[in-house]
Structure 1
Amino acid sequence: MRSFIATMVYELHPDTPPEARKLLRAHLVGRRWQDRHEGAAMPSTAVWIRRSAEDHETTDDLHAACARDLGDAVAAVARAGRSIQVVRAWIQVSGAGTYGLVTVPRPAEG
């Protein structure tokens, strides 16, 4: 089996209530998506996952599986009676290279 890292960033409609946002994140984490990296919190609408692929599977197959995870999580939030709408989402599946959070220096005050 081959291993890939997928990252997903999503944007929810501004009218999405905070409890629906939190529930979506919980459903994604329940599907093995990570909202932390090495103990540090990911940005509020970003998650990542390590996915394995069979020899016959391509990154397109993994991309589709990630999209299904998001769709299933959104549907679960809606079934719980919460109003939720994904405006757009970005999924990146990579098989090599580095990944992780970055520290952006704060501008000097002056």
Structure 2
Amino acid sequence: MAASSSTSTVDRPSQRTAPRRSRAVLRDVEPGSTVECAHCDERVKFQAKVRNRQVICNVYIKGVWDRVEHFHADCYDLAGEPHGPVDTTPVVRNRARAAEAKTA
């Protein structure tokens, strides 16, 4: 008979060393978007012929995730960058392709 093993993580120290903090990223507005800007309360709209951008923020309170906020790119600046500077790193759509590029 095999010895039983515990899958409990209660006794293990946390892998995380720093508390999670709010962050903001710049992304294209996707078709079908139905979110409202946290600054101006207007809808963040997709328009086919215009490449609208939005700032998406993961908001953490005391290191615990609380909510997501969306802003028009201009509104985030007008609001004073409430969740820190915007990360403008492009989205990696295909993680396998990105991993291949790193090993090449």
Q: TM-score, normalised by structure 2?
A: 0.25
Which protein, 1 or 2, shows the higher relative CO under an 8 Å CA cutoff with sep ≥ 6?
1
Which one has a larger percent strand, Structure 1 or Structure 2?
1
Q: TM-score, normalised by structure 1?
A: 0.24
Which one has a larger percent helix, Structure 1 or Structure 2?
1
